[in-house]
Amino acid sequence: MRKFVSIMLALALILSSFTLAFSADSLKDVEGTEYQEAVNGLAEKGVIEGYPDGTFRPESTITRAEACVIVVKSMMPTEKELDEALYSGFPDLKGYEWADKYIRYAVQKAVVSGYTDGSFRPGYNVTYNEMAAMLVRALGYKVEELSGVWPENFISKAEELGMMDGFAYEGNSPALRGHVALMTYSVIDDIIEAHKPVEEEEEDEYDYADKAGVLADFSGTAYGIILDFAKVVNEKGEVVDEIEFLFGKNTLYLNTNGKVDVDSIDLAGHYVAGDIFGLKMRNGIVTGIDTSATNFGDKEGFENLGTGVVQEIKNYYVKFKESDDTEKGISILDDASIYKAVEEGGEITGFKAASIRDVRKGYTVWLYSVTGETPGVAEIVLIKE
């Protein structure tokens, strides 16, 4: 009898897996509805599945974990990339092992974020605001490229991209499964395109003859480390200040508009304090300078995640102890900008580009986030031996 029950359970599991793999044509509750095309299209791409009873349940809500899986599948990562995604730092994923690697991947790609208490709350209903933010981020948009503050910056971009066309929604209300399918399907091709593997080129990412490099036409705030200043003559024959700026792995040379008071900036003092700099730019020209010492004027989306001595570093998750012995754990994004202090005679004279391998036990770290939704993951890290 026991053997018979075991066989029946095994058959039930097999049949269940077959049902989940059926095409969207078998999802009887979306046929003839406004959701049919979106659900069919997403199912064909392997982004969504139905329930074992052959339904999609478009009028039901969807959890944050489920929504995260959908968005990550839209990005088309390989199984190897998913398996190698590192610890997310979220302590509340027990029971959600099926979604763990997707959540880990989404955190590293800055697509999802946790709450201020460090949790992810995978079983909570995802809201329209959160779903819009995940999709906008999956498309590659950074918060500094968006207008406004959370959540209007992401919602307005989602509306501009047509994600909300065809249905009414309330931003902070739980999103319906059918609406999530419509939102995702409206941008699925663009998400796939944004995450196509980039073929390595023999040439550099940008023309080094253009000293402003990737920021030549940039407008917004660029975060990094100022290394030095110099007086130069610009194309108009005006004497202006040129800023040597460490931006990720690139050292750029950016002209000011001639009105920025660089002489009042104490670079050495900011280095010792572990501050980062924000260059306010318009069309590639620096119009102002601010620092993390003032929280960038309480800029929405900036967060100082803490400073302390590294106790443990595993994968992309660092545990450190602050000066008051408070222990913290922070995930570092896999594409974070990491800078290591350059010291001469016991004094910090600047920083240089570094990597996660340079973050070691016993080193001092300063960790910052600039994404815009208090995600609790570091995007800029300063380290000192």
Cα angle value 109/136/85 (rounded, 5°): 15
As a whole number of angstroms, the distance between CA 253 and CA 297 comes to: 25
Is residue 371 within 8 Å of residue 106, measured between CB atoms?
Answer: no
Banded model confidence at residue 270, pLDDT cuts 50, 70, 90: very high
For 236, other C-beta atoms within 10 Å of its C-beta total 7
Cα angle 197, 203, 204 (rounded to 5 degrees) comes to: 85
pLDDT higher than threshold 90 for residue 202: no
Please determine, for residue 122, whether its predicted confidence score (pLDDT) is greater than 60: yes
Q: Residue 19's pLDDT is what?
A: 33
Q: Residue 23: what pLDDT?
A: 41
Write out the two tokens for 8: 């029946």
Q: Is the pLDDT of residue 33 over 80?
A: yes
Q: pLDDT digits over 86-118, tens only?
A: 777 889 999 999 999 999 999 888 898 788 788
Task: Say if residue 334's pLDDT is above 60.
Answer: yes
What are the structure tokens assigned to 34, written together?
């406004």
Which among 268, 314, 311, 275 has a CA at the least distance from the CA of 296? 275
Least confident of 254-268, 280-294, 360-374: 360-374
Q: Describe the crossing of helices 64-74 and 177-194 by its angle, rounded to 10 degrees.
A: 30
Query: What's the whole-number mean pLDDT along residues 374-384?
Result: 82
| Bridge-based pairing state of the strands 239-247 and 250-255 | antiparallel
pTM score above 0.85: no
* Percent of the chain residues topping a pLDDT of 90: 56
Instruction: Give the model's pLDDT for residue 14.
Output: 33
Q: Residues in the chain, how many?
A: 385
Confidence of residue 203 (pLDDT cuts 50, 70, 90): very low
Strand partners, 138: none
Query: What per-residue confidence (pLDDT) applies to 256?
Result: 93
The two tokens of residue 163 are 């994600």
pLDDT band at 166 (very low <50, low <70, confident <90, very high): confident
Three-point CA angle 105, 110, 115, nearest 5°: 95
* pLDDT of 373 over the 50 cut: yes
DSSP count for the chain of H helices, then E strands: 10, 11
Q: How far apart are CA 356 and CA 226, in angstroms?
A: 21
Residue 8 has pLDDT above 70, yes or no: no
Q: What is the CA radius of gyration of the chain?
A: 24
pLDDT, the chain, mean: 85
Question: What pLDDT sits at residue 283?
Answer: 92
In this predicted structure, the answer to whether residue 211 has a pLDDT above a threshold of 50 is yes
Listed residue (359, 316, 329, 378) closest to 104, CA to CA: 316
**Both tokens of residue 51?**
């329930």
- Residue 84 clears pLDDT 70, i.e. is over it: yes
Average pLDDT over residues 6-22: 36
Local confidence band at 67 (pLDDT 50, 70, 90 cut-offs): very high
Domains of the chain: 21-194 (no CATH), 213-296 (2.40.50), 301-384 (2.40.50)
Banded model confidence at residue 320, pLDDT cuts 50, 70, 90: very high
Between 316 and 30, the more confident residue is: 30
Q: Which of 176, 179, 192 is nearest to 47 (CA)?
A: 192
